[in-house]
Amino acid sequence: MKELDWGRLITAMVTPLDAGLNVDYGQATRLAKRLVETGTDAILVGGTTGESPTLCENEKVRLVEAVLDTVGDRVAVLVGTGSNSTAASVTATKQAEALGASGIMLVSPYYNKPPQSGLYEHFRSVAAATRLPIMVYNIPGRTGVNITPETMARLAEIDNIVALKEAAGSVDQAAEMVKAVKGRMRVYSGDDSLTIPMMAVGAHGVVSVASHVSGRELAEMVRAFAAGKAAKATELHLRLLPLFKALFLTTNPIPIKAALRLQGFDVGGLRLPLVEATDEQVEAIRRAMVEAGVEVKK
């Protein structure tokens, strides 16, 4: 296994916005502190949970700087630098490296649907342009293309490709990924609800959304499973399952921003084309939080 200190619970952080839908950097620093204090081992900034498609480059730079200045001495800070342009991904990756990021996450190119050989060359090219450790992000439901275990096996041979966020929604594929990479990289669940099933077939942990509002419970869950306390991990998983489901009842990050507001931590609205959760959706999220035993203030 390549040396890696990102822990088992990585939070894909939302981007707080103010009343004018400008990035609220002060609230971003407060959120980063909250995540660390509630058990997050590493923070991912500028991923799609952070509304990266609607952030401009200057906003992303300032956001990364703010989080690094606040918690960069306590946890790893990763930056989402992937896009459907290899050249743009290389540029963003070099920028993240210059800012002092701990690593990067590269989502597979979306919409242009490259073949497996194109996916391999994309990730290889970005890896060759940086010394940072890289997490590959496979989420075919959003990108339109699935990275196969065979392609991941080839990517695992590249020294600084060290992890995979697997979000195809299949435990079978997750197991095939673990088998294919032969211990040369860590596999993380990209779905909160599949964390324990995936850890059971060899995944290391989770890149989480739910940890914004249930960080302590999630940290306890993954650490219990890793320590061989499967019954305790299962108990926590089943308790949190209603929350996991509710946070994806509509497009992420709409529900998690609503959930944070229900806990009294307002991260603002969303930029179009994303919209606010409906009253019915907010109520469903609130009920799920109560059922899961997660704090609700509103």
List 25, 60, 120, 165, catalytic entry: 165
- Please state the separation of Cα 200 from the chain's center in Å: 20
What's phi and psi for 183, nearest 5 deg? 75, 5
- Report how far residue 166's alpha carbon sits from residue 179's, in angstroms, rounded to the nearest whole number: 13
Tokens standing for 66? Answer: 């703010």
CB count within 10 Å of CB 95 equals: 17
Q: How far is residue 53 CA from its own chain's centroid?
A: 15
Q: CA 282, CA 289: separation in Å to the nearest integer? A: 10
Assess whether 165 carries a catalytic annotation. yes
| 118 DSSP 8-state letter | H
Cβ atoms of 67 and 32 within 8 Å: the answer is: yes
Selecting among 25, 137, 188, 257, the annotated active-site residue is: 137
2 is catalytic: no
Pick the closest to residue 11 from 292, 253, 199, 266 (CA basis). 253
Q: Give the whole-angstrom CA distance, residue 183 versus residue 240.
A: 29
- State how far the alpha carbon of 228 is from the alpha carbons of 186, 222, 224, 232, in Å: 18, 10, 6, 9
Token pair belonging to 261? 């507001």
The type of residue at 184 is R
- The encoded tokens of residue 31 equal 């959120």
Catalytic residue positions, numbered: 137, 165
